[in-house]
């Protein structure tokens, strides 16, 4: 049985960092990487449009757009990683709550990979709601990948008060 790594991907720096980590890990382990893009489903999705009214995109159109975008993100990550990201990849776009979608997709997986929110400072020490739900409820190990720092979020200098 082939190992399977599930990674949640969105169009954020955290999602891209998680994907690159999962691709590297998949290449090392010889595991299939199941790349999942989740999208929110509204409580009510309008039915067929009335002539002259725009009811918005259908669920299928949203799913197809998310699938296409996730494929583009995967292609960019693979180009960035070269041979280091040479894992077998399966891309899926699934409607529903992101945490619930990832937890369901990670059933029987060997690893679930998610990104953090990456806001820097104190916020970077706090997991986002999706990553927190995955850490708390997954039935497999979870790796939360931090967003790589491109610029320091806090100065290295220490400010001290002068005594008088």
Q: Which domains does the chain have, with CATH numbers?
A: 6-44+58-145 (3.40.50.620)
Q: In what order do the strands lie in the sheet with 88-95?
A: 88-95, 32-39, 4-8, 111-115, 142-145
Handedness of CA 3, 145, 140, 134 (dihedral sign): negative
pLDDT over 80 (residue 132): yes
Which are the contacts of 131, defined by CB distance < 8 A and separation ≥ 6?
114, 115, 116, 117, 142, 144
Q: pLDDT digit string (tens) for 72-95? A: 999 999 999 998 888 999 999 999
- What is the Cα–Cα distance from 141 to 145, expressed in whole angstroms? 13
Q: pLDDT digit string (tens) for 13-52? A: 999 999 999 999 999 999 999 999 999 887 765 656 566 6
Strands 111-115 and 142-145 turn out to be parallel
pTM of the predicted model as reported, rounded to 2 decimal places: 0.80
| Cβ-contact 118, 14 below 8 angstroms | yes
| Cβ-contact 13, 151 below 8 angstroms | no
pLDDT over 70 (residue 155): no
């Amino acid at each position: 049985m082939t190992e399977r790594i599930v990674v949640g991907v969105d169009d954020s720096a955290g999602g891209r960092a998680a994907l690159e980590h999962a691709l590297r890990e998949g290449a090392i382990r010889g595991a299939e990487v199941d790349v999942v893009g989740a999208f929110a489903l509204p409580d009510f999705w309008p039915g067929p449009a009335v002539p002259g009214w725009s009811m918005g995109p259908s669920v299928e159109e949203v799913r197809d757009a998310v699938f296409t975008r996730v494929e583009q993100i995967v292609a960019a990550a693979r180009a960035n990683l070269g041979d280091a990201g040479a894992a077998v990849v399966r891309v899926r776009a699934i409607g529903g709550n992101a945490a619930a979608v990832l937890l369901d997709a990670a059933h029987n997986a060997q690893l679930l990979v998610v990104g953090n929110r990456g806001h820097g400072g104190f916020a970077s020490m706090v997991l986002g709601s999706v990553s927190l739900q995955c850490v708390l409820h997954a039935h497999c190990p979870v790796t939360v990948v931090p967003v790589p720092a491109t610029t320091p979020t806090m100065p290295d200098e220490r400010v001290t008060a002068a005594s008088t």
